[in-house]
């Protein structure tokens, strides 16, 4: 007959998170108690005004507020009549990294019973289904990021540096959207760099010069009020697709559109991944880059040679939001599928990325060539043409509705749309010009 309570560290509900807040939720009554750090007088000189407790009560819309150093006393006083209180703490495994979140702790915590396993799956599931307010913020991050992508494609020219495209993006989302941070390090890959999936990190910092004839793969997304966006646009630096660029681009676009047209509650994301793989393999076969039966290619997992990453992932406060593999759902082991960050059935309210890609990656192609069973599916002579092509990725953020889904991203996707926008046309294209 005990009362139970939940404690979290570093919760924040506004753009100005003071460090060290702790939230306690009285599960029996539903009341929330926030504990704020007690700051030294010097804080006012270096960091700014010390806010009264009432500020935290109003800002975070909680029922009560105290100082962090009062937690043990408050909990004891409040639950004294109900035996030893049980604290549910947030401590769970990140299914991508394998790391664990650090549970909240405070002085005097040893006086209470704690539970490290119950809270994490519950809160994770709360994060999987987005509220209307969460959706509105993610839509905002998508709107400003879509705009910024268009600004970048309009300014891209041979002779520029990849990092200049990054700078244009960052400036647009901050200057005009108030987004101080991006959800992840910008990937501004051109030429063969676009076949490096996580290009742009400190050891490969977007420092190549853009060449006439290069494809660009721009994976960039702004964050707003802690919620992210994750968008990839691929296009030719010189503004005009050549024939092999059209082939690969349209193979990926077909996969992207096929997935979005199938998405609705109840659909399994592993099936969507395979749908994308199949669409790409079929296109490559049609262009005689591959040969043989597509079902056989699927059985041989050839999709993973061209798309070694997963089709997409849940998106929210984290770019790779948690909840992809709840208890009981196992990550697949097969090539390509093992990179998928969720194999869940879609549910209304999820926001998930759709990001098929087709890349020409030396190490993976060499491996396929060395394997006698895989090798026979490839037209190696035709593949020669794509040796330094790099890759194409098209990524949108998609909200699952009751009946289907809604694409939150708004960038030109058809090759003629991209060419028109890069040549200076407004976006969206005027109605009369949309089928040029």
Q: Is 203 a binder of its own copies (CB under 8 A)?
A: yes
Provide, rounded to whole angstroms, the least separation between the CB of residue 47 and its own copies. 6
Closer to its own copies at the Cβ: 40 or 430?
40
> Out of Mn ion, its own copies, none, which partner does residue 45 contact, by CB within 5 to 8 A per kind?
its own copies
Neighbouring residues of 139: CB distance < 8 A, sequence distance ≥ 6: 408
Q: Which of 353, 396, 409, 410 binds Mn ion (CB under 5 A)?
A: 353
* Cβ proximity of 392 and 252 under 8 Å: yes
Neighbouring residues of 412: CB distance < 8 A, sequence distance ≥ 6: 150, 153, 418, 420, 421, 427, 429
Stretch in the footprint of its own copies (CB under 8 A) among 53-61, 62-70, 173-181, 253-261: 173-181
Provide, rounded to whole angstroms, the least separation between the CB of residue 72 and Mn ion. 40
Euclidean distance between CA atoms 206 and 188, whole angstroms:
6
Provide, rounded to whole angstroms, the least separation between the CB of residue 147 and its own copies. 15
Q: Is 157 a binder of its own copies (CB under 8 A)?
A: no
Q: Is 232 a binder of its own copies (CB under 8 A)?
A: no
> Out of Mn ion, its own copies, none, which partner does residue 362 contact, by CB within 5 to 8 A per kind?
its own copies
* Cβ proximity of 345 and 266 under 8 Å: yes
Stretch in the footprint of its own copies (CB under 8 A) among 17-25, 144-152, 268-276, 284-292: 17-25
> Out of Mn ion, its own copies, none, which partner does residue 46 contact, by CB within 5 to 8 A per kind?
its own copies
Provide, rounded to whole angstroms, the least separation between the CB of residue 149 and Mn ion. 14
Secondary structure in 3-state letters for the chain: CCCEEEEEECCCCCCCCCCCCEEEEECCCCCEEEEECCCCCHHHHHCCCCCCHHHHHHHHCCCEEEEHHHHHHHHHHHHHHHCCCEEEECCCECCCCCCECCCCCCCCHHHCEEECCCHHHHHHHHHHCCCHHHHHHHHHHHHHHHHHHHHHHHHCCCCCEHHHHHHHHHHHHHHCCCCCEECCCCEEEEHHHHHCCCCCCCCCCCCCECCCCCEEEEEECEEECCEECCEEEEEECCCCCCHHHHHHHHHHHHHHHHHHHHCCCCCEHHHHHHHHHHHHHHHHHHCCCECCCHHHHHHCCCHHHHCCCCCCCECCCCCCCCCCCCCCCCCCCCCCHHHCCCCCECCCCCEEEECCEEECCHHHHHHHHHCHHHHCCECHHHHHCCCCCCEEECEEEEEECCCCEEECCCCCCCHHHHHHHHCCCCCCCCHHHCCC
Size of the site for its own copies (CB under 8 A): 40
Q: Is 301 a binder of its own copies (CB under 8 A)?
A: no
Provide, rounded to whole angstroms, the least separation between the CB of residue 115 and Mn ion. 34
> Out of its own copies, Mn ion, none, which partner does residue 283 contact, by CB within 5 to 8 A per kind?
none
**What x-and-dash track marks residues 25-64 binding its own copies by CB under 8 A?**
----------------x--xxxxxx---------------
Stretch in the footprint of its own copies (CB under 8 A) among 22-30, 59-67, 171-179, 243-251: 171-179
Q: Is 433 a binder of its own copies (CB under 8 A)?
A: no
> Out of Mn ion, its own copies, none, which partner does residue 260 contact, by CB within 5 to 8 A per kind?
none
Q: Is 237 a binder of its own copies (CB under 8 A)?
A: no
Token pair in block for residue 337? 């599928």
Residues 112-131 within binding reach of its own copies (CB under 8 A): none
Stretch in the footprint of its own copies (CB under 8 A) among 127-135, 202-210, 281-289, 293-301: 202-210
Q: Which of 23, 267, 337, 361 binds its own copies (CB under 8 A)?
A: 361
Q: Is 429 a binder of its own copies (CB under 8 A)?
A: no
> Out of its own copies, Mn ion, none, which partner does residue 353 contact, by CB within 5 to 8 A per kind?
Mn ion
> Out of Mn ion, its own copies, none, which partner does residue 230 contact, by CB within 5 to 8 A per kind?
Mn ion
Euclidean distance between CA atoms 232 and 196, whole angstroms:
14
Q: Is 178 a binder of its own copies (CB under 8 A)?
A: yes
**What x-and-dash track marks residues 302-341 binding Mn ion by CB under 5 A?**
----------------------------------------
Residues near Mn ion (CB under 5 A): 230, 353
Residues near its own copies (CB under 8 A): 15-19, 41, 44-49, 161, 163-164, 166-168, 170-171, 174-175, 178, 180, 193, 196-199, 201-205, 207, 308, 361-364
């Amino acid at each position: 007959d005990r009362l139970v309570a939940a404690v979290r560290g570093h919760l924040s509900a506004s753009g100005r998170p003071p460090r060290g807040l702790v939230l306690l939720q009285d599960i029996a009554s539903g009341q929330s108690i926030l504990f704020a750090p007690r700051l030294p007088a010097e804080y006012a000189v270096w960091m700014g005004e010390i806010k009264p407790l009432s500020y935290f009560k109003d800002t975070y819309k909680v029922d009560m507020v105290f100082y962090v150093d009062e937690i043990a006393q408050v909990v004891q006083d409040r639950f004294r009549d109900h035996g030893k209180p049980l604290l549910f703490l947030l401590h769970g495994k990140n299914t991508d990294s394998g790391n664990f979140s650090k549970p909240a702790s405070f002085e005097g915590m040893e006086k209470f019973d704690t539970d490290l396993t119950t809270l994490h799956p519950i809160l994770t599931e709360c994060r999987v289904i987005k509220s209307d307010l969460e959706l509105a913020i993610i839509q905002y991050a998508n709107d400003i990021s879509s705009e910024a992508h268009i600004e970048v494609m309009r300014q891209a020219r041979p002779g520029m540096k990849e990092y200049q495209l990054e700078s244009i993006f960052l400036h647009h989302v901050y200057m005009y959207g108030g987004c101080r941070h991006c959800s992840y390090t910008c990937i501004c890959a051109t030429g063969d760099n676009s076949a490096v999936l996580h290009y742009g990190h400190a050891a490969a910092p977007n420092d190549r010069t853009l060449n006439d004839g290069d494809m660009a793969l721009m994976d960039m997304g702004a964050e707003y009020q802690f919620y992210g966006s994750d968008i990839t646009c691929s296009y030719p630096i010189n503004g005009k697709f050549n024939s092999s660029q059209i082939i690969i681009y349209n193979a990926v676009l077909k996969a992207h559109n096929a997935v979005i047209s199938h998405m609705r509650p109840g659909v399994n994301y592993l099936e969507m991944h395979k749908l994308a793989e199949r669409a790409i393999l079929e296109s490559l076969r049609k262009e005689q880059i591959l040969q043989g039966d597509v079902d056989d290619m699927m059985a041989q997992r050839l999709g993973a040679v061209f798309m070694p990453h997963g089709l997409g992932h849940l998106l929210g406060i984290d770019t790779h939001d948690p909840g992809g593999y709840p208890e009981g759902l196992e990550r697949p082991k097969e090539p390509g599928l093992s990179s998928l960050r969720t194999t869940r059935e879609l549910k209304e309210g999820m926001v998930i990325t759709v990001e098929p890609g087709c890349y020409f990656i030396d190490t993976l192609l060499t491996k396929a060539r060395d394997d006698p069973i895989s090798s026979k599916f490839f037209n190696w002579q035709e593949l020669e043409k794509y040796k330094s092509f790099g890759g194409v990725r098209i990524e949108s953020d998609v909200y699952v509705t009751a009946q289907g889904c809604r694409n939150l991203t708004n960038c030109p996707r058809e090759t003629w749309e991209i060419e028109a926008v890069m040549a200076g046309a407004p976006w969206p294209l005027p109605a009369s010009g949309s089928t040029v």
